[in-house]
Amino acid sequence: MTNTELILNMLAEASTKDISQATEPKTFDENKTVAQQGGNVARVARRELEERTGKKVVTPLNAKSLQKQLTATQKKSR
């Protein structure tokens, strides 16, 4: 996961929490709707960023493989 992916994940979680606090859902279905709304905030941000940069934000890498890739790149640049 890249830093951008982590940030977008945090945005989705924070948005969901804020929406939940504002609307105070009571049922499972209401909570599900709030979660979808929070995820949509991050989805819109991701799509906007991808449109402006022309690059995909989501990668198939996990944190461990990303760290290996960064370490290898740093070794090559020395």
pLDDT in tens, 4-63: 999 999 999 999 999 999 999 999 999 999 999 999 999 999 999 999 999 999 888 776
d(CA 32, CA 29): 5
Q: How confident is the model at residue 2 (pLDDT cuts 50, 70, 90)?
A: confident
Residue 64 has pLDDT above 90, yes or no: no
Q: What's 52's DSSP letter?
A: H
- Residue with the bigger pLDDT between 70 and 39: it is 39
The pLDDT of residue 17: 98
pTM of the model: 0.76
Are the C-beta atoms of residues 39 and 10 closer than 8 Å to each other?
Answer: no
d(CA 44, CA 38): 10
